Amino acid sequence: MIADTGTAILILGIFVLPGFITLLFRERFYVVRGQDTPFERLLQALFYSAIVYGVILAIGLYFGLDKSDVVDYHQGKKSLFEDFLAGVLIFLVLPLLLAVLGSRWNASKTVRPKLLRLIGSSEAHNVHSGWNELFSKQGGAMIRATLSDGRVVGGFYGEPSLAGYTEHTQDLYISERWELDEDSWFVQPAPRTLGIWLPRDSIRSLEIYQPDEVSAGERRADSTTAIGDDSSDQKGTK
């Protein structure tokens, strides 16, 4: 009975492991891990494992794999090379492929929106908050922040800048601070600026502007693109 229980646990672990590996790849590529419970993560892992083994079954049927081959794998009758190939396919190649395809699907600007509209769904289901949607596409913009103490600060949100996701924190790092005039409008980059960090609790509101020439002789509009501009290369701020 102990041996049977141990075998059952081993089989269960082998079945679930590809799903967990897929989750890890997704979190490295394009998904920010939220506050999922262990049970929710287990369900996600089971879902992706089912896809992995479903693909394996389809490939096996196509190439003539039958039940005896599966039994031979279970009983260790296959060669070491065959076991290695099966392990690489199940625990590396397919989870990686699922994560890459998921990333491409998530970034799709044509096929995905059309399919969602066709089935009566919306892209909003994949957006956790307005904060995430605003900063999910890296680009360039002028940001003016009104703080809880009434001060107004601002600067250029460029490539080195970073905005935390709502599942973790909503602090904001603006890579280049700008001096503001008496009307709180952009004048010029602050001397020797290395940026400004704003904790979420200190931010009352944010104003986002395209990086046009906000003052004479400063940044040119064609040198960068605004946050959310569909023509810019888009990538997550993870």
Task: Give the least confident one: 73-77, 172-176, 186-190, 233-237.
Answer: 233-237
| Gap between the Cα atoms of 227 and 238, Å rounded | 16
Task: Give the least confident one: 29-38, 77-86, 210-219.
Answer: 210-219
Chain centroid, CA 160 distance in Å:
18
| Gap between the Cα atoms of 192 and 176, Å rounded | 9
* Segment 24-35 mean pLDDT: 77
Residue 214 has a pLDDT of 59
pLDDT at 82 over 60: yes
Nearest alpha carbon to residue 199 among 233, 168, 158, 236: 168
Tokens of 195: 């940026």
Q: For the chain, give every residue range classified as CATH 2.30.30.100.
A: 131-223
The amino acid at residue 39 is F
Alpha-carbon torsion (228, 231, 235, 237), positive or negative: negative
pLDDT at 136 over 80: no
Give me the CATH topology for the region 131-223: SH3 type barrels. (2.30.30)
Residue that is written with structure tokens 């409008």 in the block: 185
* Segment 82-107 mean pLDDT: 89
* Segment 141-164 mean pLDDT: 91
pLDDT at 134 over 80: no
Please give the backbone phi and psi of residue 156, each rounded to the nearest 5 degrees, phi first.
-100, 120
Residue 237 has a pLDDT of 41
Do residues 156 and 210 make contact, with C-beta atoms less than 8 angstroms apart? Answer: no
Nearest alpha carbon to residue 148 among 209, 199, 208, 207: 199
Do residues 181 and 164 make contact, with C-beta atoms less than 8 angstroms apart? Answer: no
pLDDT at 50 over 90: yes
* Segment 179-208 mean pLDDT: 92
Q: What percent of the chain has pLDDT over 90?
A: 36
| Gap between the Cα atoms of 168 and 171, Å rounded | 9
Tokens of 231: 């023509």
pLDDT band for position 124 (50/70/90)?
low
Residue 227 has a pLDDT of 41
pLDDT at 126 over 50: yes
Residue 128 has a pLDDT of 60
pLDDT band for position 3 (50/70/90)?
very low
